[in-house]
């Protein structure tokens, strides 16, 4: 019985969804996976005419890269090393999961993601 419970709990945690969030004050209501990819790879800093500041969540970083950017940790590292070397751009700022809510509330132009359920505007559900 305990083994079944642990197995179900483990599967549930491994398949946990993640939300991409903005402040409730933000005028952005939704984003596509392609728009997210473009802003997180810093190919653009605007979405629907609004300047955004993208922030990585250290705790959900690898899962987000895999599911949204379709890149593993080695690929994303190589991408940013090339961008830095060529002097084009630097990766987004990274924060701890515990800081996500306060960062979103502080700056309505911030976009970040978390597997925690927070009381902010969800603009994309990562599955």
Number of H helices, E strands in the chain: 5, 7
The confidence band for 75, taking pLDDT boundaries of 50, 70 and 90, is very high
Does pLDDT of 87 surpass 70?
A: yes
DSSP code, position 45: S
State the Cα–Cα distance between residues 31 and 120, nearest whole angstrom.
15
Supply the pTM of this predicted model.
0.84
pLDDT at res. 11: 46
pLDDT-based confidence at residue 48 (cuts at 50, 70, 90): confident
The residues, ordered by sequence, that sit 6+ positions from 84 with a Cβ below 8 Å of its Cβ are 90, 91
Does the domain at 17-126 match CATH 3.30.1960.10? Answer given as: no
- Sorted by sequence, the CB contacts under 8 Å of residue 98 that are 6+ apart come out as none
CA distance 8 to 26: 37
């Amino acid at each position: 019985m305990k083994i079944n419970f642990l197995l179900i709990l483990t599967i549930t945690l491994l398949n946990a969804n993640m939300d991409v969030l903005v402040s409730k004050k933000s005028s952005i209501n939704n984003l596509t996976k392609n728009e997210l990819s473009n802003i997180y790879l810093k190919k653009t800093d605007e979405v629907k005419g609004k300047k955004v500041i993208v922030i990585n969540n250290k705790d959900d970083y690898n899962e987000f890269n895999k599911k949204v950017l379709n890149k593993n940790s080695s690929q994303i590292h190589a991408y940013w090393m090339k961008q830095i070397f060529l002097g084009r751009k630097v990766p987004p700022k990274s924060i701890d999961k515990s800081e996500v809510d306060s960062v979103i509330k502080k700056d309505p132009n911030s976009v970040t993601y978390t597997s925690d359920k927070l009381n902010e505007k969800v603009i994309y559900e990562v599955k």
